[in-house]
Amino acid sequence: MHKDRPKYLVLTAILLSMAIQQQVIAGPPFNTDDPQPVEFHHWEYYISTINTFKSDVSTGTSPHIEVNYGVVPNVQVHLILPVNYDYSRQHGFNTGYAYTELGVKYRFIQESDNGPQIGTFPIAEIPTIHNPEFGNGQIQLFIPVWAQKSWGKLTTYGGAGYWINPGINNRNWLFTGWEVQYDFSPVITLGGELYYHTVDTIGNKQVLAFNIGGSINASEKFHIIYSVGHSLMNEKFTSLYGGLLCTL
């Protein structure tokens, strides 16, 4: 990190990179997640990049690796290893590793003809490498409840969760979102989400934004997933997700 970097740019980059790490926990390629775990003794492997573009700073992962495994019926274990970056025209490109993400998804109500499936997906962001450019060295926890219902080719899911967000100038905050998607064919799925979160740091603002995206299923095992979105209030930003998913 450049010693002469203006303090406001340093703070902006750190806060945005932390927000990117928190977005990684979502159901790719969206921020909103679902309660459906990976099937028993099956795997999901992702290699992806998630990005947020503002007028003065860009942040994201380049890339991050995600692994999910169905350890027992209705329970999935979860790991993300993100290589973070930030970029500004004045100070160029910085990259580094700070947090490892661990989680367990548990579905405790099965979907029925008249009711949704419901589950929880607690996440822990564990400071692994001391790197003040991309984190504050504090453990962060996310405790959500998610619900999902399908009718043929149409699926909708969403819910809400609470972030425990320790650190100087940080605030605990609430995230909520809802997603709708449709399988247009065995190859193409398209969907969109609307999400909101409360203030997460002193001086920051609440966020309301959307994403539109989906998947291209090259085969039963290999999928291209993507989304693009934009803010709807307060700070203006554009978000972009792209990744490859392998299911085994």
- Residue 19: the pLDDT is 40
* Cα gap 72→106, rounded to integer Å: 10
Q: With bands split at pLDDT 50, 70 and 90, how would you rate the model's confidence at 4?
A: very low
Inter-residue contact 30 to 176 (CB < 8 Å) = no
Structural domains in the chain?
7-247 (2.40.128.130)
What DSSP letter does each residue of 181-227 carry, written as one string? EEESSSSEEEEEEEEEE---BTT---EEEEEEEEEEESSSSEEEEEE
Return the minimum-mean-pLDDT range out of 48-52, 87-91, 105-109: 87-91
As a whole-number percent, the residues of the chain with pLDDT over 90 amount to 82
**Res 2 pLDDT > 70:** no
Q: With bands split at pLDDT 50, 70 and 90, how would you rate the model's confidence at 209?
A: very high
Q: With bands split at pLDDT 50, 70 and 90, how would you rate the model's confidence at 40?
A: very high
As a whole-number percent, the residues of the chain with pLDDT over 70 amount to 90
| Phi, psi (rounded to 5 degrees) for 200 | -110, -15
- Digit-coded pLDDT (tens) for 146-197: 999 999 999 999 999 999 999 999 999 999 999 999 999 999 999 999 999 9
What is the torsional sign of CA 54, 202, 81, 103? Answer: negative
* Cα gap 161→158, rounded to integer Å: 10
